[in-house]
Amino acid sequence: MITLEHVSKTFTSHGQTVTAVDDVSLEVGEGELHVLIGPSGSGKTTTMRMINCLETPTGGRITVDGRDVQTMNVVDLRRGIGYVIQQGGLFPHFTVADNVAVVPRLLGWPRQKRRQRAEELLALVGLPPELFADRYPRQLSGGQQQRVGVARALAADPPIVLMDEPFGAVDPITRKQLQRELRRIQAEVRKTIVFVTHDIAEAFLLGDRIVLMAEGRIVQNATPADLLRNPADPFVTSFIGEDRGLRSLRFTSLAELAGPAPPGARPNGMILPGTLSILDAGRELAAHRDAAGDGIWVGDTTGQPIGYLTFQQFATVLGESLGDDAETPHDETAHAIHH
Amino acid sequence: MMRRRMRYIIEHPDRMLELTQEHVWLVAISVLIAMLIGIPIGILITRLRWLEGSVIGVTGVLYTVPSLALFSVLMPYTGLGARTVIIALVLYSLLAIVRNTVTGIDEVPRPTLDAARGMGMTGSQRLLLVELPLALPVILAGVRLATVAAIGIATVGALLGAGGLGQLIFDGIARGSTDRIVAGAISASVLALVADWALAQLGGRLRRDVQIAGR
Ligand SMILES: Nc1ncnc2c1ncn2[C@@H]1O[C@H](COP(=O)(O)OP(=O)(O)OP(=O)(O)O)[C@@H](O)[C@H]1O
Ligand SMILES: [Mg+2]
């Protein structure tokens, strides 16, 4: 469990002070994945780097498993926290396998075991070890390097992982695979993860909670479903809505997604027509913040209920669809290059 | 004409070999000592930044003192012979080695260093596993500069009886033997070229090993 209590960080450079993080409080429970999302410069990376003491807060307190990180031995703390760095940060003079196995090496694992673990993790992130283990980072594409960075963070099986835009440079199809893989790992072993992204779809897909930041502050900290249902202010709505990926949601209707209504449940007032697009449904929900229950009733043109969609399903679908849409322009580009 | 001038080299291969060995030994031992002193000083500067101005300043001034002047300053304390020459060569070599050590470590990319800290390396692990290996090509470039300069300066050391190829030059001047002067000068130049080439090769190989995309 990670807690941030009224944490602030100001940088002073060239006589100017920048408040990178401003009174942020956060609680990431054991086994939860919290996504930090927000515009560039909103303090996501800085927030994350204070957890493993790469930055020192200028105010507030951070604890990991109940202990104030400031009082802990930084070396031990960091070896117990996996860290995927935003710019990759692979060691250029280490092979891929040695990069992955760097924390096990610091922990004194025997060579054989390190190698085995590195190969296991490379396979996990979709880099066949027989092709990649003995290469150097410069012989890898940006996306491949990022995946090595993810493997490196997981190598010593840390209970806590900080991931700073881990899939930012990965192509959409691979990104989707990695997201699914992360979700699978998360379902199995339940690590405590802080995950930074710019990709709202990724946030919906992976987050137990989504923490939306702007100018160093938390604008809203909510479950994906709540974020859709009760956006705190127009900024949140615009942040969710501005994503170009949402375009595709205009062409998916609620009726296509709705499942059968839970037995015995009755419509609670608001029934959205099945012909409504997912996008419009999201707007509708945002306009009715007080909507009760844990989902949306879907009706036919006459208003008769024909199905039900939980907010969680809605959020996941939103995440999935946004991801799918992001592939389209990429595929077109690939097409254009091949011909 | 040229063939005749090379006569001394051709007719005295043993003497040439002996003087070359002396010369190489003088330079090698000096540069080695300069590395043993200069690399730790360079590392220290990257940790204690306030040292940088004064250390680089002092080594820089040393570098600009003419060799004869430096010899005559040292001689009252260290006497004649190889020792004084070695001390002078060490002092000359320090600038390039210290400066390049600092530059090499400073050039290690920020994200790489962050990763090293983030993975939980201690300060010395960071130095030995990341900073020094990545700085090595730049440090070696400093060693190369220092070596080439030292080969030239070491010829003057013959005045102090330190031997080496400079011996031929000063013998030649004393005896009016152009052959000897040419033999000494050419051999020293060739030695400098060979050392430069060899260290460049080594540096190239190292650089390839640690090449950083986009650096
Ligand atoms: N070491 C530093 N010195 C001075 N200012 C800094 C430093 N690190 C970050 N900042 C400033 O703090 C603010 C927050 O930066 P941060 O890197 O946390 O943003 P971010 O949300 O991660 O952005 P991005 O999405 O672009 O990665 C920015 O204004 C940045 O310029
Ligand atoms: Mg960032």
CB A71 less than 6 A from any atom of ligand 1: no
Domain B2-214 in CATH 1.20.120.140: no
Interface contacts A/B by beta carbons within 8 Å: 64
Best residue among A4, A8, A9, A11 to mutate for probing ligand 1, ranked by most atoms within 8 Å of CB: A11
Provide the pLDDT for residue A168: 85
The more confidently predicted of residues A320 and B44 is B44
Q: What are phi and psi of A67, to 5 degrees?
A: -105, 135
pLDDT of residue A332: 34
Q: Ligand 1: which of A12, A17, A46 to mutate, most ligand atoms within 8 Å of CB? A: A46
Contact of B123 with chain A, judged by CB distance below 8 Å, is answered with no
Which residue has its alpha carbon closest to ligand 1 atom 7?
A: A11
Spatial contact of A70 and A244, defined as CB atoms under 8 Å apart: no
Q: pLDDT digit string (tens) for B120-168?
A: 999 999 999 999 999 999 999 999 999 999 999 999 888 888 888 888 8
**Secondary structure E strands in chain B:** none
pLDDT of residue A164: 95
Pick the CATH number of A2-242 from 3.30.70.270, 3.40.50.300, 1.10.10.60, 3.10.50.40: 3.40.50.300
Beta carbons within 8 Å of B112's beta carbon, 6+ residues apart: A89, A90, A91, A92, B130, B134, B212
Q: What is the pLDDT of residue A321?
A: 60
- Output the pLDDT for position A338: 39
Q: What is the pLDDT of residue A291?
A: 59
Kindly list the averaged pLDDT for each block of 10 residues, start to end, along chain A of length 339: 95 90 95 93 95 95 94 94 91 95 95 95 92 93 91 94 91 84 84 92 88 93 80 76 54 72 71 77 67 74 79 73 46 35
pTM of the model: 0.78
The rounded Cα A296 to chain-centroid distance in angstroms is 25
Nearest by Cα to A30 from A151, A189, A175:
A189
Backbone φ and ψ for B85, nearest 5 degrees, come out as: -65, -40
Question: Residue whose CA is closest, atom 3 of ligand 1?
Answer: A11
Q: HSE (CB half, 13 Å, CA atoms) of B192?
A: 17
CB of B209 within 8 Å of a chain A CB? The answer is: yes
Nearest to B99 by CA among B148, B34, B153: B34
Chain A 51-80, CB below 8 Å of chain B: which residues? 52, 54, 74-80
Residue among A74, A102, A138 minimizing CB distance to B211: A138
The answer to whether A3 touches A27, Cβ cutoff 8 Å, is yes
Near ion ligand 2, which residues have CB within 5 Å? Answer: A 45, 86
Average pLDDT of chain B, as a whole number: 87
Smallest CA-to-CA distance from B142 within B15, B20, B41 is with B41
* Cβ–Cβ contact B205 with A under 8 A: no
CB-neighbour burial class of residue A91 (10 A; exposed 0-12, middle 13-18, buried 19+): buried
- A85: nearest Cα among A161, A170, A171, A8: A161
Task: Provide DSSP, A314-333.
Answer: HHHHHHHHHHHHHHHHHHHH
Give one DSSP letter per residue of A142-161, joined into a string.
HHHHHHHHHHHHHTT--SEE
Question: Quick one: pLDDT at residue B74?
Answer: 85
A12 lines ligand 1 (CB under 6 A): no
Ligand 2 centroid–CA B186 distance in Å is: 59
Residue B104, classified by CB atoms within 10 Å of its CB into exposed (0-12), middle (13-18) or buried (19+), is buried
Beta carbons of A96 and A140 less than 8 angstroms apart: yes
Q: Is the Cβ of A143 closer than 8 Å to some Cβ of chain B?
A: no
Q: Which CATH number among 3.20.20.105, 1.10.1240.10, 1.10.8.100, 3.90.1280.20 corresponds to the domain A249-338?
A: 3.90.1280.20
Strands A209-214 and A33-37: parallel
The finding on whether A42 has its CB within 6 A of some atom of ligand 1 is: yes
CA of A239 to the centre of ligand 2 (A): 17
Check B118 against A92: CB less than 8 A apart.
no
Tell me the nearest-neighbour CA distance from A137 into chain B, angstroms.
8
* CA geometry: angle B163, B164, B166, nearest 5 deg: 95
Which amino acid type is present at position A42?
A: S
Domain ranges of chain A: 2-242, 249-338
Distance from CA of A102 to the nearest CA of B (A): 8
pLDDT of residue A331: 35
CA of B124 to the centre of ligand 2 (A): 28
What distances in angstroms separate CA A202 from CA A227, A265, A324, B215, one per listed residue? Answer: 14, 31, 11, 31
The answer for residues whose C-beta is within 8 angstroms of residue A311's C-beta and 6 or more apart is A225, A226, A228, A229, A294, A295, A296
| A247 interfaces chain B, CB cutoff of 8 Å | no
pLDDT in tens, B55-85: 888 888 888 888 888 888 888 888 888 888 8
Q: Judge whether A211 and A218 are in contact, CB under 8 Å.
A: yes
Dihedral class, residue A6 (left if φ above 0, else alpha if ψ from -120 to 50, else beta): left
DSSP H helices, chain A, are 44-51, 74-79, 96-100, 102-106, 111-124, 129-132, 142-154, 172-189, 200-206, 224-229, 234-241, 254-257, 278-287, 311-338
User: Which of ligand 1's atoms lies nearest the C-alpha of A196?
Assistant: 22
The number of the ligand nearest the C-alpha atom of A19 reads 1
More confident residue, A158 or B51: A158
Kindly state the DSSP code that residue A259 receives in the 8-state scheme.
B
Report yes or no: A160 and B118 within 8 Å, Cβ to Cβ: no
> What tokens appear for A181 in the block?
């893989």
Which chain B residues have a beta carbon less than 8 Å from that of A74? 120
Q: Are A34 and A211 in contact (CB under 8 A)?
A: yes
